[in-house]
Amino acid sequence: MAYPLQLGLQDATSPVMEELIQFHDHTLMIALLVSTMVFYTILTSVTTKLTNKNMLDSQGIETIWTIAPALILILIAMPSLRVLYMMDEVNNPHLTVKTIGHQWYWSYEYTDYKNLEFDSYMIPTQDLIPRQFRLFDTDHRMVVPTDSPVRMLITADDVIHSTAVPTLGVKMDAIPGRLNQTTFVVSHPGVFYGQCSEICGANHSFMPITVEAIPLIHFEDWSTSMLAKI
């Protein structure tokens, strides 16, 4: 999960996020190399004592510094498009969860079999117990089975919200009257956090998303117990 002074991306918990991290590292490395080279070139140009008042043009270097950036851009575009299309692949989901944004909480609906629906409010800071994370933990979590393609359908009840879980590589806008679809697979069990990512009023910063991934054999027990409770 996120931690103070974090610079990089959170560790991946889904195959897609692993690919996105690799692409990000690849592109950032190219950006750093280019920036270093440019900085060095400027620095040496500005501090040199050499002068040549007769240099007008040079076909050679102009050709090189046109072709080289084009090749670099191709080197970036290829993995970019590969990951983009990978994210769009058809995968037959095992489960559908609906996420509905409200001011200022999320509600989740699991209606493939019975009608399981519940709200998920942030735990107020004064009510936290020692193991809980401030501004992240919620009273009810969105529970999903591990290693199963999950379809998430997102909408909102009032204003625009956005659901995001960085470690899963998920971010999708919640728009009233529209049903947005995203899919993900959780690689290993755990609890994963995200926050509302579209300004939605006074408590926009206080409506987090908590996803809990458990093995499939336990998932049915959870949904049965939730149906009994709610």
Partner 1 sequence: MSEAINEKIKNYSTAPFDARFPNTNQTRNCYQNYLDFHRCNKVLSAKDHDVTACEWYKRVYKSLCPIGWVDKWDEQVENGSFPGKI
Residues between 73 and 92 with contacts to partner 1, criterion CB under 8 A: 90-92
| From 30-38, 69-77, 176-184, 204-212, span contacting partner 1 (CB under 8 A) | 176-184
Cβ within 8 Å of residue 49, ≥6 positions away: none
Least CB distance to partner 1 at residue 29 (A): 30
Is 224 among the residues that bind partner 1 (CB under 8 A)? no
Is 171 among the residues that bind partner 1 (CB under 8 A)? no
d(C-alpha 71, C-alpha 64), whole Å: 10
Is 226 among the residues that bind partner 1 (CB under 8 A)? no
d(C-alpha 127, C-alpha 53), whole Å: 73
In degrees rounded to 5, what are phi and psi of residue 222? Answer: -65, -45
Is 94 among the residues that bind partner 1 (CB under 8 A)? yes
Do the beta carbons of residue 170 and residue 164 sit within 8 Å? yes
Q: x/- site string to partner 1, residues 44 to 73, per CB under 8 A? A: ------------------------------
Is 93 among the residues that bind partner 1 (CB under 8 A)? yes
Is 197 among the residues that bind partner 1 (CB under 8 A)? no
| From 12-20, 77-85, 134-142, 179-187, span contacting partner 1 (CB under 8 A) | 179-187
Is 182 among the residues that bind partner 1 (CB under 8 A)? yes
Outline where DSSP puts E strands in the chain. Answer: 95-102, 105-110, 116-120, 142-145, 149-156, 161-165, 170-174, 180-185, 190-194, 209-214
Three-state SS for 217? helix
Instruction: Rank residues 95 and 135 by Cβ distance to partner 1 and give the closer one.
Output: 95
Do the beta carbons of residue 193 and residue 160 sit within 8 Å? no
User: 10 Å Cβ neighbour count for 171?
Assistant: 15
Choose, by CB under 8 A, the member of 38, 68, 73, 179 that binds partner 1.
Answer: 179
Is 151 among the residues that bind partner 1 (CB under 8 A)? yes
Choose, by CB under 8 A, the member of 117, 119, 158, 198 that binds partner 1.
Answer: 117
Residues at the contact surface with partner 1, assessed by CB under 8 A: 90-96, 98, 100, 109, 111-112, 115, 117, 151, 153, 155, 157, 172, 177-182
